[in-house]
Every structure is written in structure tokens, then in C-alpha cells.
Amino acid sequence: MSGGISKKLIIAIDGYASSGKSTLAKDLAKALNYRYIDTGAMYRGVAFYAGKQKCFSGEIINENCLKQILNDIHLSFKTINGKSHLFLNGEDIESSIRTMDMANKASKVSTIGFVRSFLVAQQQQIGKDKCLVMDGRDIGTVVFPYADVKFFVEASLEVRTMRRFKELQEKNQAITIDEVRENLKERDIRDTSREISPLKKADDAVFIDNTNMTKKEQLDFALSVINKKVKNN
């Protein structure tokens, strides 16, 4: 592992949509030779399966339908060409879940208590061997409140909008900047105001505003925090 880190750690990263938390998580996992888990992908996986099983009527989800199919959902991650892919019941659905529509449906599914309990249990099981970087909305507060190192990542709305817009453009998805901005605003409201596991900074999390930071600056700062934490313990 880099940075002189030999201790097995759980590193929790929370933050708003398109704040750069996944970028940081992936970079840290690569630098430390740790496993990376994108919990947002897991909620997208549930939303994807719910859609296939006709549990959505437009933008409205039928919770009774979702409850009936939940135990049929088996999620796993595999690394393909250096990138983490989500598999649903053995099928690679990575490209299918990276759409604006799926992000919106996943955000709605994530407000449902029994879905969060279902996925949190899986996430905690994944972390039992440590050597893990996990990002999401409630990793440092609910999934791993005892995580060795916690980060809370943020960036301005305009910077987040441009990041998501460029990402969707690269995937040839027809979307306007205004639509992306409004979608992020809606997701921010749902993430921070839901009754169960709302997005918030853990008291012991290190805050990172990467609005004006490069990827390297963000990574170097996070590694310095981790190194300091290990040396002090």
C-alpha cells in the first residue's frame, strides 16, 4: 500500500450527488490497494430491478410491489478493465444504471426504510474484512459509524452541474444543463430531508470542499489525513 499504510482500515466517504466523492473513493482505493464499493450503484440496482418488475408507475413507486421482490435481488461487484461494475442476479447492468432517469428513481427508492435496511446489511457484510473504501450518503453515520477515517465531500452546485452534464454528454445522453441542475437540486432535497438516514456530515468526518481543487489535490489531502490518522493511532 502507498503512503506507508499497513493497517487495515474502513474509509467512509459521504457527500452530495456529483460532489466528487466517488472520484475520491476510487482514487483512494487504487492508491491504497483497497476494495472500492459504490453504494449509490446498489440503490440504482434496486431501482433498475423494480422497474423491470413493473413496480414503478411513471415516477411513483409501489412499495408493496418492491417489498415482494426485494429478496430476489442479488447484487455484486466485479472489476472489469479496471472499473467496478454492478451485477444484478449475475447480469452486468453497469451501463443501464448510469442514466439520469435511473439516478432519479434510485434517489426515490433510497428514501424507503426497508430498502435501506436491506442494503445496509449487505454493505456492512462487505466491510467485515476491512481494507475498504465505501462512498454514499450515510456511510459514516449509519453503515460504518465506527469507520477508521471519514470524509464529507462537497462542491458548489454549478461545479456539480457541469461535472454531471459532461459525464452524461460523454454517454451520449440528451440532456440540458438546466435539467441537470434541477435534478441535482431535487436529489439534494430528498437526500437531506428524508426521515431515514438523511445525508449529513458525521461529527468526526473531515470536510472537503473540492470546488476549486484538482483530483490530485483532493487525493493528496485525503491521503495526508489518512496517514496522520494511522500514525496517531
Q: How high is the pLDDT of residue 58?
A: 87
CB burial of 78-114 (b: ≥16 within 10 Å; e: otherwise) equals: eeeeeebbbbbeeeebbebbbbbebbbbbbbbbbbee
- Which of residues 96 and 5 earns the better pLDDT score? 96
Which pLDDT score, from 0 to 100, does residue 171 have?
Answer: 84
Angstrom distance (rounded) from CA 103 to CA 80:
22
| Cα Rg of the chain (Å, integer) | 17
For 11, the 3-state DSSP assignment is strand
Contact 15, 153 (CB under 8 A): yes
Q: How confident is the model at residue 1 (pLDDT cuts 50, 70, 90)?
A: very low
* DSSP-based three-state secondary structure for 194: coil
Tell which residue, 61, 90, 95, 89, has the closest CA to residue 73: 89
What is the pLDDT confidence band of residue 19, given thresholds at 50, 70 and 90?
A: very high
Task: Give the C-alpha separation, 36 to 66, whole Å.
Answer: 27
Show Cβ contacts of residue 111 under 8 Å, excluding neighbours closer than 6 positions: 190, 194, 195, 196
CA angle 137–45–63, rounded 5-degree value = 85
Q: Report H helices in 12-62.
A: 21-32, 39-52
Domains, in order of start, for the chain = 9-218 (3.40.50.300)
Using a pLDDT cut of 90, give the percent of the chain over it.
89
Q: What is the pLDDT of residues 46-71, one digit of tens each?
A: 999 999 999 999 889 999 999 999 99
Strands (E), the chain: 10-15, 35-38, 56-57, 60-61, 75-80, 83-88, 91-92, 132-136, 149-154, 206-209
